[in-house]
Amino acid sequence: MAELEAATSKVIRSGCYLHGPETKAFEEELAAMCGADYAIGVSNGLDALRLILRGYMELGKLHKGDAVMVAANTFIATVIPITEFGLIPVFVEPDPLTMNFNWEEALGILKDNDSSQSPLNIRCAMITHLYGTPCWNRKAADEMHGRGMMIVEDNAQALGAEAAEEGFNGVRFTGNLADAAAVSFYPTKNVGALGDAGAVITNEADLAAVVKALANYGTDKRYHNLYVGYNCRIDEIQAAMLRVKLRYIKNENIHRQKIAELYASKITNPLVEVPAIFPDMVQVWHQYVVRVPENLRDDIRDFLADGDIPTDIHYPTPPYCQPCYASIYHPEEDTVAIKLANSCISLPIANMTAEKVSEVSNIINRFRS
Amino acid sequence: MAELEAATSKVIRSGCYLHGPETKAFEEELAAMCGADYAIGVSNGLDALRLILRGYMELGKLHKGDAVMVAANTFIATVIPITEFGLIPVFVEPDPLTMNFNWEEALGILKDNDSSQSPLNIRCAMITHLYGTPCWNRKAADEMHGRGMMIVEDNAQALGAEAAEEGFNGVRFTGNLADAAAVSFYPTKNVGALGDAGAVITNEADLAAVVKALANYGTDKRYHNLYVGYNCRIDEIQAAMLRVKLRYIKNENIHRQKIAELYASKITNPLVEVPAIFPDMVQVWHQYVVRVPENLRDDIRDFLADGDIPTDIHYPTPPYCQPCYASIYHPEEDTVAIKLANSCISLPIANMTAEKVSEVSNIINRFRS
């Protein structure tokens, strides 16, 4: 807290509030942490995704009417930029074990599309490392790249996570697995700003340049508008606070891993399925999401609330069931995403202690249908 | 400075960084200051304009392909939302005296359009109170309203300014003259945040509701996406700092008025035309823009720079001459906006003293061609 206050006071006194030294240093430190060539601080995670897609469109790599694969159970921010730019979302159901984008199903969709009478031009896959669990399949990603597709990571929830090593060339960090990645620093994130902030991470120099321009009204130099851009800048004050927070990300993630392991060992109620811990990857547990029978979900949440345990649902409604998308997509049955939405409960994971985990687990273990 | 640091420390310790009590209080104080029913804190001035136009589209008051009048010499942020949403910009040349949107010319365009073979559906006028000078003509605005048009104020540069009284019903403040207004709190503004921030001001309850939803992913309630929205929230920390700054806006504006009057009395070089001071309105002098012969502009700037006087150009290139709009518009001759762009110089106006004004004026008075 004192460190954060000192960092903000320094910025306030500096008189430089945008595009200054804190942003520059933050971008360098974030890129270095992920082993990437470029990190561009931006206004928030949704804008980071918007800037990546708009960037690819300006570079001629994506065109209006192209299709983009996206996880059916992601937060709606992953889908918004697709439809905003006149691209067509192709929803990929999650793998029930990882709760992430199902790569095998995605490859199946691509093959079906090949032999379709009116194939979509599927040019991109947006994968979400949901809840902090890396979503990565090197072989499937290679096949997509072989088709000339781009892969964009929604790394809003998984900064510091590491994918399984098998088949890798040393790169493990989410945010630097695919072609470009968006990061969110929403305050509740493992690395949270004190307000909204985000970043784009990439190794592509041309994408980095266009994202940087688009985020500043489309200017490549002052008052010279190469693109019709946006204002998606990160504040110096947020960059300064994130530089403080980045120093603690490793400890924060390790702490959450311990809490997740503790939950897994303590929760023994057979009605409750705890999330899988994958020994070959590093999960960072932005959320700790258990699954319960759909018809008991509300009862279990009430039971926990009676014991003063706050819970949440991430997310109650898949994007394709939201009213804003009612006109473009109608799932015809109970999809995997809908079933997950109806059966998931997020248990407390931030600022937890071993004692508190025992308390939550004891309450949940006492629940009977 | 101490007040700002105290305000940020309070927010940092509160643990609430978005959609909290500072934002609520800031919105109430800003609305009260302009005598308006609603103020919605948002991410920046461009986003405020984007949210107003998207809001009118969601409300069915504007449709893709409709035309929007806009000042030809405004900052590009006024034009970006028009083209972003598939609306057609109709550029209105500035009045050389006010340097603002020329209302008479706008009415002429409307009449010409009425009798055109292929008339545009001109549904909206976006007026900019450029440099802090109110852009208002009650009779012309009434005529536009009579045509069912909406009028949107780009009040990025004129918070606290007051329009001429003639024909008014008591409302004078820019930001509350027309149907909706966008405010920017970019750090250099008369009321500057310590980073990016903005606001939408309106008396229309339906527009306020849709803007609020669009700025938060399109949600009317948590995890319920009525619209395909954006993330355009204001940070609590910026709202807190703006609440401090708002307390000083009146003094800041009065100080700038004195500086402007001083410049006008001190600058006597016949090569330099000082900006008009209009006795029947309150100008807030976000910029102090003089005009000089085009062929001497660079020499005069160099002469001032040699005397350690920094100057700037607002703006060197009208939006319709920017490369990003090369494909949609080609001015066929030297327009009023182009001539202004080539002849204007912004003299220092922020943090000025009487002594400093004399110094700048003395240097400029010594210039000879």
Which chain B residues are Cβ-neighbours of A224 within 8 angstroms? 317, 322-323
Residue contact A225–B76, C-beta within 8 A: yes
In the chain, the amino acid numbered B118 is S
Chain B interface, best mutation among A3, A73, A188, A231, by max B CB count within 10 A: A231
Which chain B residues are Cβ-neighbours of A316 within 8 angstroms? 223
Which CA distances in Å does B111 have to A197, B119, B136, B277? 47, 10, 19, 31
Q: Determine contact, residues B155/B180, Cβ cutoff 8 Å.
A: no
For B235, which residue in chain A has the nearest alpha carbon? A195
Residue contact B224–A43, C-beta within 8 A: no
Domain formed by A2-246, architecture: 3-Layer(aba) Sandwich (3.40)
CA distance B62 to chain A (A): 17
Which CA distances in Å does A225 have to A210, A218, B302, B318? 12, 5, 25, 10
Extents of the domains making up chain B = 2-246, 249-366
In the chain, the amino acid numbered B292 is V
Q: Please determine, for the modelled complex, whether the ipTM score is greater than 0.90.
A: yes
Residue contact B217–A316, C-beta within 8 A: no
Question: How confident is the model over B261-301, as pLDDT tens digits?
Answer: 999 999 999 999 999 999 989 999 999 999 999 999 999 99
Give the domain A249-366 fold.
Answer: Aspartate Aminotransferase, domain 1 (3.90.1150)
Residue contact A225–B323, C-beta within 8 A: yes
Q: Determine contact, residues B283/B257, Cβ cutoff 8 Å.
A: yes
Which CA distances in Å does B102 have to A52, B129, B239, B313? 39, 12, 34, 21
CA A144 centroid distance within chain? 20
Q: Which residues pair with B212 in a beta bridge?
A: none
Buried b or exposed e, range B165-198, using 16+ CB within 10 angstroms: eeeeeebbbbbbbbbbbbbbbbbebbbbbbbbbb
Chain B interface, best mutation among A230, A320, A342, by max B CB count within 10 A: A230
In the three-class reduction of DSSP (H, G, I as helix; E, B as strand; rest coil), residue A39 is classed as strand
pTM: 0.97
**pLDDT computed for residue A105 by the predictor:** 97
Measured CA to CA, the distance from residue B7 to residue B243 in angstroms comes to 9
Closest to A5 (Cβ–Cβ): which among B12, B223, B229?
Answer: B12
Chain A interface, best mutation among B223, B234, B242, by max A CB count within 10 A: B223
Burial class (CB within 10 angstroms; exposed 0-12, middle 13-18, buried 19+) of A229: buried
- What average pLDDT values come out for chain B (369 residues) when binned by 10 residues? 90 95 98 96 98 98 98 97 97 96 98 97 98 95 97 97 72 91 97 97 98 97 95 98 96 97 98 96 97 98 98 97 91 92 97 97 97
Say which residues have a Cβ less than 8 Å from residue B198's Cβ, sequence separation at least 6: B41, B42, B43, B44, B45, B46, B47, B48, B156, B182, B183, B184, B185, B234
In the three-class reduction of DSSP (H, G, I as helix; E, B as strand; rest coil), residue B202 is classed as strand
Residue contact A235–B80, C-beta within 8 A: no
Residue contact B223–A315, C-beta within 8 A: yes
Q: Which is nearest to A256 in space by CA: A172, A184, A134, A353?
A: A353
Buried b or exposed e, range A174-212, using 16+ CB within 10 angstroms: bbbbbbbbbbbbbbebbbbbbbbbbbbbbbbeebbbbbb
Q: Which is nearest to A50 in space by CA: B80, B228, B182, B51?
A: B228
- What average pLDDT values come out for chain A (369 residues) when binned by 10 residues? 90 95 98 96 98 98 98 97 97 96 98 97 98 95 97 97 73 92 97 97 98 97 95 97 96 97 98 96 97 98 98 97 91 92 97 97 97
